[in-house]
Structure 1
Amino acid sequence: MPKTSPAAATARPRRRSRRQRLLDSLTHGRLKGPHAVTTDYRVISDLRIPMRDGVVLLADHLAPVGASRGTVLVRGPYGFDTVVTALTGGLYASRGFDVLLVRCRGTFGSGGTFDPMVTEIDDAADTVAWLRDQPWFGGRFATAGGSYLGFTQWALLTDPPPELAAALIQVAPHDFGRVAYLGGAFTLFDFLSWSDSIAHQEETGLLTSLRRRATADRRATEAVARLPVATCSDEICDGRAAWFQDWTTRRDLDDPFWAPMRLSAALDRVQVPVLLQTGWQDMFLQQTIEQYEHLRGRGLDVALTVGPWTHLGIATRGSRIVAPESLDWLAEHLAQDAQRRRPQPVHVVTTGSGQWRDLPAWPPPARDHVLYPHPDGSLGSHAADDGATASFTYDPADPTPTRGGRGSSPRSAGYQDDTALARRADVLTFTGPALTEPLAVAGLPVVELAHSCDNPHADLFVRVSEVDRKGRSRNVSDGFVRLSPDETTGTVRVTLDPMDHRFAAGSRIRLLVAGGSFPHWERNLGTDADPATSIALRPSARVVQLCGSRLVLPVTSA
């Protein structure tokens, strides 16, 4: 059954606790200058917000002492303990903004059933209708938050209310189905881990919580190894995440099941300034870039920040960048008491060098730099001879493992040493010569492979890595595609993740080709049976015609 919580509680005012003061100080209290703390705030807990179907949601109001600069609305399913409150509410309340922290239905005392993303459009509209009637509401508000808290913003933006002044959206999708099946296969590890976290997030006890967090990756790794995929959540989630089976079995994205999670209409309807913040290693990176490009194409005031972070890393490692930017955005567009401090709409870090730069738009102008794989494992500037091939076998019983890449886990995702991956027999590895000077690449790399397979059911995973002077390899950009049966033989074009990277002088560019990346994506079982419910496995033998294959890098400077 979906997760259900009772509606309860009566609003009660209270002062900010000592623990909350400490967490506020540690997370954002040390910001200086125009971003410094300006006021204290009080907390009114468990406000009751009625929904149109009779369900009552609970919310906390962080009320600044003194005049308000406007209201910030935050809606999410994770509850608002002292840590989450500091990150999502205290940051704004201690700078003079009223903040309303609303708990999604079925979570942390809010009534109804938690069915991820299904009711967020109606619940957003009903929350704003309630907000309008509050005596402390000044008539203008902004939305803020990341991940699911960003999805709830896109839900509101499908029918934006006139009081909305701005949006701050971090690491969030607007079309969950396309994220869940990015490349055509189910994104297994991240969404099983998320389901596990949600299923157990309200368990009490510090030791229980710490133990679950410490063992989360190990338990998820054990669970994803089991087949069939559709039931691998049963044990780890204790039967509390029925949505996971729906996600894995409903593979037609035109199925009405996915409609409430498809919020693309918001990209055409939003009219307010939007700040988008993400990381090069975030699981939702592609959709954030898509959001930016769509809004910019409409002529909206949209800004984009991309750091070196994973999905969760933006809240920790990224806070020194994203927090001041968020406060500046609110000061300019909600409070309207400051001028724009952002020098350009786009603020990105160049990985490899670690340098931040400001750009008028993304991506910057670039030229194609083409590299060709060769049978000796080299990567050169000239195409391989006719007839040159490379081959490997993908075995779903021993699937090619994930090493780093976009994701949520701070332990296993992000930039990782993938040297061991390049040595596997089921991975083709092509490495270029040492660069005589730095090479800057920004945009979307593309790999074209003249590929054939003895099995019509196959995936392709490609990666660009950088090999340093000591021979250690680290991932830079990945691409993945599940091939349809009529695509397994012929030229396959794989677009990799957006990137902005500077390959150092003396380093070497490496291209990896494999038949999967498990457990980030589910493994291809190699049969025509339902991949969600089948347990049968069949390997696939691959041949790549090197003379028809190449890597295309968008180079901005050399």
Structure 2
Amino acid sequence: MVLKKKRGDFDVLIDRGLEVPMRDGTILRADTWRPDAQGTFPVLIERTPYDKRGSSESNLGAGDFYASHGYVVVIQDVRGRFESEGEFYPFRDDGDGENKDGYDTIQWAAEQPWSNGKIGTIGGSYSGATQYRMLSTQPPNLVAGFARQSSADYYDEWVYRGGAFEHGFNTMWTLKHTATNARKLAPKGLEDEFYECLNREADDYAKWLENLPISPLSPVKSLHQWYVDWLNHPNQDEFWHEFSNARSYDRVTVPIHHFGSWYDCFLAGTLRNYVGMREKAATRHARMGQRLTIGPWVHDPAPADMRKSGDVDFGEQAILGWFETRLRWFDHWLKGVDNGVDTDKPVKLFTMGINKWREFDEWPPHQAILTPFYFSDGSAKSSSSLNDGILRSEKPDQFGEVFDEYKSDPYNPIRSFGGGHLGDNNGPRDQVNYEKRVLTYTTEILRDPIDVTGPVKAVLYASSSALDTDWVVRISDVHPDGKSMLICDGILRSRFHESFENPTTLVPHMPTAFEVDLWATSHVFMPGHRLRVAVTSSGFPRWDRNWHTGKNNALETSGIVALNRIYRDSIRPSHVLLPLL
């Protein structure tokens, strides 16, 4: 990947370690890049837990680039990280709680002698979270933001998905970012020893993905409480309330560009934040100023400069220019440049399959019609899966209990490969070697294209011999050469099928309706290809094992093998709902 950026006209001055006081007296520290010129300038702020000298924006050279174009750039260590004082507890102090570190930082920047009082925010992932969390506090000097690939709800997208723990991402993330903070967390005199030990364990994080029980995580259990807290709250209970952006969309007062990707672990958050703010923001100016861009990429610090994701090269047309896209946004909102940002269509999507950008007036596109494709009898003669079933647009007409069944073994789970997660082997990947132990339902060879653009879900009529199990559904594009390229997927821990707040265990062997959220996509299945749905009950280590007991899986080390059935008769017609354009 080559970053496309043209430096501006200003020389740049850099100041390191500026002290930024918070309302409780805690000092956070920041580095600044500013034009070497007289006068005041608009300010762009990133707040990061990843070290202000090694954050995504720092590593990409954002400070120098935007300062050369007439902005001051402030990159700050969040509370408790690297050179900033205080205790780090993810997300807690960045919003509208007792501490309001985002608000205080913006107002500090507005008062500096090099600032003209117009503030914008940048960054993605956790630095996107610090932006979203701060919006509810309504800093008077905040003018606009640009949030890349970040969450709306830290229960449902960051820590859990469909009630299942995002094991691969969170265990890796916890080890890695506890290790980088080890000297700050270690007992006095043991800083070097803790640093070396924790970094060794973080480098070998795959070992900890296999370790049981998941919680507590031995290398970090004496150093902080938040990982244990997350896993002690598998339900969406009161603990998670403060970590939801949705409760404060009606307090947003500024335009935000929500920038995401189809294979990002936070895709749902990008979409939900856009829709929520577009519908509920506090002012018409803020509502009309929301923008959404979704590309074909994986989670990455500079996605708009990528053409390849997973095993697929989407071509030069996938590249938008990461720095230029944001410069245009902030030039309009912070400098008043009449460059068309305010008249752009609000939604811009990259449609895979045809590999083109398309623009829409809203998300989801109103033209999309939710269309069922049913699991059916017979053989598609296209897969070496357990059943090689057929996917049809016609509802099944068979009566009685018609089903396909398989065993779900937590001691030998189906391995995850590809998809929208933050870890190894993410993005669109060939699923053929991972379909041998799952159920599949595949269409005939397509004669006409199928344009799927919008939210996707599966409706399963299913049963289990156990009190709890998982339902994992994947949709893939089967190419003429047999490759089964993953398009989107999702999971539901079955005890949450009625409520994430108040789970209920299953009645063994009783057919029950389940809805599995596959989030969304924009993909055209081309003539000569097929559309395939795969169903299984695990995706490890991306998601944690379900031990089938109905208890907190993170605290368990053993369970039972479950017999699971997927029904496909006229009364229980399992299907996927695809938004067709």
Task: Say if 2:268 is the partner of 1:297.
Answer: no
Rounded to whole Å, the distance in 1 between the matches of 2:557 and 2:182 is 33
Which residue of structure 1 aligns with residue 394 of structure 2? 382
CA contact (8 A) 1:399 1:518 kept: yes
Which residue of structure 1 aligns with residue 126 of structure 2? 148
Local SS of the residue matching 1:444: strand
CA change 1:89–1:259 in 2 (3 A) is: farther
Spell out structure 1 runs of 4+ moving beyond 4 A: 212-216, 237-241, 313-316
- Cα deviation, 1:58-91, whole Å, max 9, x if unaligned, reads 1111111235541112111111226741534333
Local SS of the residue matching 2:117: coil
Task: Say if 2:225 is the partner of 1:246.
Answer: no
The one-letter code matched in structure 1 to 2:465 is D
CA contact (8 A) 1:44 1:60 kept: yes
Which residue of structure 2 aligns with residue 116 of structure 1? 90
The one-letter code matched in structure 1 to 2:462 is H
Rounded to whole Å, the distance in 1 between the matches of 2:409 and 2:458 is 23
The runs of 5 or more residues in structure 1 that have no matched partner are 1-25
Rounded to whole Å, the distance in 1 between the matches of 2:291 and 2:107 is 28
CA contact (8 A) 1:453 1:541 kept: yes
Shift of 1:215: 9.9
TM-score (normalizing by structure 1): 0.86
Query: What is the number of equivalent residue pairs in this alignment?
Result: 517
Which residue of structure 1 aligns with residue 539 of structure 2? 517
Shift of 1:106: 1.8
Which residue of structure 1 aligns with residue 578 of structure 2? 553
Shift of 1:308: 1.1
Residue 28 of structure 2 is aligned with which of 43, 57, 72? 57
Which residue of structure 2 aligns with residue 13 of structure 1? none
Rounded to whole Å, the distance in 2 between the matches of 1:545 and 1:275 is 42
CA change 1:250–1:552 in 2 (3 A) is: closer
* Farther-moved stretch of structure 1 (288-297 vs 461-470): 288-297
CA contact (8 A) 1:69 1:335 kept: no
Which residue of structure 1 aligns with residue 188 of structure 2? none
Which residue of structure 1 aligns with residue 358 of structure 2? 357
Task: Say if 2:251 is the partner of 1:269.
Answer: yes
Rounded to whole Å, the distance in 1 between the matches of 2:416 and 2:215 is 20
Rounded to whole Å, the distance in 2 between the matches of 1:383 and 1:264 is 37
Residue 115 of structure 2 is aligned with which of 107, 125, 137? 137
Aligned-residue CA RMSD (Å): 2.7
Aligned counterparts, 1:404-415, within 5 A: 404-409=418-423, 411-415=424-428
The one-letter code matched in structure 2 to 1:481 is L
CA contact (8 A) 2:374 2:394 kept: yes
The one-letter code matched in structure 1 to 2:218 is D
Shift of 1:259: 4.1
Residue 372 of structure 1 is aligned with which of 348, 369, 374? 374
- Cα deviation, 1:149-190, whole Å, max 9, x if unaligned, reads 111112221111221111111111132122222201211111
Task: Say if 2:175 is the partner of 1:196.
Answer: yes
* Farther-moved stretch of structure 1 (468-477 vs 514-523): 514-523
Rounded to whole Å, the distance in 2 between the matches of 1:421 and 1:266 is 41
Rounded to whole Å, the distance in 2 between the matches of 1:255 and 1:362 is 30
Which residue of structure 2 aligns with residue 526 of structure 1? 548
Which residue of structure 2 aligns with residue 403 of structure 1? 417
CA change 1:530–1:363 in 2 (3 A) is: closer
Rounded to whole Å, the distance in 2 between the matches of 1:367 and 1:260 is 35
TM-score (normalizing by structure 2): 0.83
Residue 106 of structure 1 is aligned with which of 35, 55, 80? 80
Which residue of structure 1 aligns with residue 145 of structure 2? 167
Rounded to whole Å, the distance in 2 between the matches of 1:390 and 1:174 is 36
CA contact (8 A) 1:451 1:542 kept: yes
Local SS of the residue matching 2:270: helix
Local SS of the residue matching 2:254: coil
Local SS of the residue matching 2:52: coil
Shift of 1:468: 0.4
* Farther-moved stretch of structure 1 (431-440 vs 85-94): 85-94
CA change 1:550–1:155 in 2 (3 A) is: closer
CA contact (8 A) 1:116 1:243 kept: yes
Q: Sequence identity, in percent?
A: 29
Which residue of structure 2 aligns with residue 18 of structure 1? none
Rounded to whole Å, the distance in 2 between the matches of 1:142 and 1:551 is 41
- Cα deviation, 1:399-418, whole Å, max 9, x if unaligned, reads 11111111112x32111111
Residue 269 of structure 2 is aligned with which of 283, 287, 290? 287
Rounded to whole Å, the distance in 2 between the matches of 1:151 and 1:338 is 29
Residue 181 of structure 1 is aligned with which of 160, 180, 183? 160
The one-letter code matched in structure 2 to 1:470 is D
Rounded to whole Å, the distance in 2 between the matches of 1:470 and 1:185 is 34
Residue 58 of structure 2 is aligned with which of 82, 85, 88? 85
The runs of 5 or more residues in structure 2 that have no matched partner are 184-194, 308-318, 379-388, 496-504
